[in-house]
Amino acid sequence: MAGLANQWGPLGTVVLVTVGLATSRLEIGTPPVWRVPEFVLSLTAASDSTKRAYRSDLRQFAEWASRAGLNVPSDVDRRWLRRYIAFLSVRGLSRRSVARKASALRRYFGWLARQGTIGVDPALGLVAPAGSGRLPRVLGAAEVSEMLGDGTVPNDPTELRDRLVLELLYGSGLRVAELCQLDRGAFRPGSAHIEVIGKGARHRRVPLSEPAMALLAAWRDGGSDEFDGQRLREPAERDPAALLVNLRGNRLGTRDVQRILDRHAATPTHPHALRHTYATHLLDGGADLRVVQELLGHRRLATTQIYTRVSRERLREVYESAHPRA
């Protein structure tokens, strides 16, 4: 006979599952004093992936804090946060992962301070240690051409959807989350732009390439209905607002986009590499950095400047491979 009992442990709800004489422990979430669920709910402008990442980051921090004897948020001071960031770095996490966890802590403790749960924000100005980050992978012109095809509009509805996805990622530099959130109303017939909701729920108008306009027109003028009728397992359950859906009729997700890329890329390629390539090719072609910043939807110019570094690296590679005295 099985029995269940709940109690609060140092990290969250401890569910004791008893089957016969055996008892298993399952810890879920963080204890109420940390107010993590409330904080995540307050992130109304954040994407679902950001919310999941922050929830996981804070759960890991609460676990580390409990081992250090810090049982409530007010026990945490700046010294402990700096120790935690150092602990993450020693564990070998990438600079990007440590920076995201530091961002989660800044937003979390700032929220606690505004809520009056703590008197002083210990994470104010908290930063991850500087280090050499990996440069984004940039696809070559031949790779892009092979992936996107010859520019003709496919007759097969699945191929039409896939090509539209790839063209929007490279031709307009959309983030994967922005692509997946596109509604049917984001594109107006005859328009050379598409309305995108980016990070922080910021709206921007993004130019469309000519191939993307042709693919969108074909998708709107029957391609989407053909996909729904021929490919969906349950057409009646299709998300009516979504521009692009998977075989279940749900909005495309990150994994769906990765599968599309896996089918069309000659080498393993992350979807975000197409956005990196978009930005780098613009700069290689002489585009102004401020213009690229607006196109990408970056709030800070410093975020865009990494692509100037990529362009310099590419120039160096070309020089070393082509010049006889390199």
pLDDT single digits (tens) 218-246? 999 999 999 999 999 888 889 999 999 99
Q: How far apart are CA 85 and CA 62, in angstroms?
A: 13
- pLDDT number for residue 8: 41
pLDDT single digits (tens) 68-122? 999 999 999 999 999 999 898 888 788 888 989 999 999 999 999 999 999 999 9
pLDDT single digits (tens) 35-52? 999 999 999 888 888 899
CA neighbor of 288 nearest in space, from 269, 265, 305: 305
Q: Which residues belong to the active site?
A: 175, 199, 272, 275, 298, 307
* pLDDT tier at 5, thresholds 50, 70, 90: very low
133, 95 Cβ separation under 8 angstroms: yes
What residue ranges define each of the domains in the chain, with the CATH number in brackets?
A: 1-30 (no CATH), 33-134 (1.10.150.130), 141-228+254-321 (1.10.443.10)
Residue type, 253: G
pTM: 0.65
Q: Which letter does DSSP use for residue 245 in this model?
A: B
Percent share of the chain, pLDDT over 70:
83
pLDDT single digits (tens) 126-180? 887 765 556 667 898 889 999 998 888 999 999 999 999 999 999 999 999 999 9
Percent share of the chain, pLDDT over 90:
57
